[in-house]
């Protein structure tokens, strides 16, 4: 069973990645914007009328963003989808306030 996920605002992601298992990461402060950026596209689908056979299925793409960062122990990945949106919103003059979650396997 995976451990419980921690929830926090996307605006705190940069400070949250500085800690791993309750301890400060070794090797100095992690600059999240300098970490390598990756993305994947997943699809969210809904069946129009689930109780009717041959009902149309509609799907929408959902792009998710991740950063691969490095500390003294090696590399680690963190999902940054909402953080990336917030960063773009700030550069466009606005700010979004969404909640993200993370867990350590």
Report if residue 88 sits inside a domain. yes
Report if residue 24 sits inside a domain. yes
Domain that holds residue 54: 6-102
Is the pTM for the entire model greater than 0.85? Answer: no
Complete DSSP assignment for the chain: -PPPPEEEEGGGHHHHTTEETTEEPTTS---GGGSEEEEEEEEEEEESSTTSTT--EEEEEEEEEEEEEEETTEEEEEE-HHHHHHHHHHHTT-----EEEE---
Question: How far, in Å, CA of 73 to CA of 12, rounded?
Answer: 22
For position 96, what pLDDT does the model report? 44
Q: Per-residue pLDDT tens for 89-98?
A: 555 554 444 4
Number of domains in the chain: 1
Helices (H), ranges, the chain: 13-16, 81-91
Q: Per-residue pLDDT tens for 19-36?
A: 887 888 888 899 999 999
Report if residue 1 sits inside a domain. no
Report if residue 56 sits inside a domain. yes
Q: Per-residue pLDDT tens for 48-102?
A: 999 999 999 999 999 999 999 998 888 888 889 988 887 765 555 544 444 444 4
Question: How far, in Å, CA of 57 to CA of 47, rounded?
Answer: 4
């Amino acid at each position: 069973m995976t451990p419980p996920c921690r929830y926090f605002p996307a605006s705190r992601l940069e400070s949250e990645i500085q800690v791993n298992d309750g301890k400060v990461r070794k090797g100095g402060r992690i600059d999240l914007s300098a970490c390598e950026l990756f993305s994947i596209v997943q699809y969210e689908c809904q069946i129009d009328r689930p109780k009717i056979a041959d009902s149309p299925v509609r799907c929408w793409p959902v792009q998710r963003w991740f950063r691969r960062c490095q500390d003294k122990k090696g590399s680690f990945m963190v999902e940054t989808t909402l953080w990336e949106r917030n960063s773009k919103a700030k550069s466009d003059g606005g700010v979004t306030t969404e909640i993200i979650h993370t867990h350590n396997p």
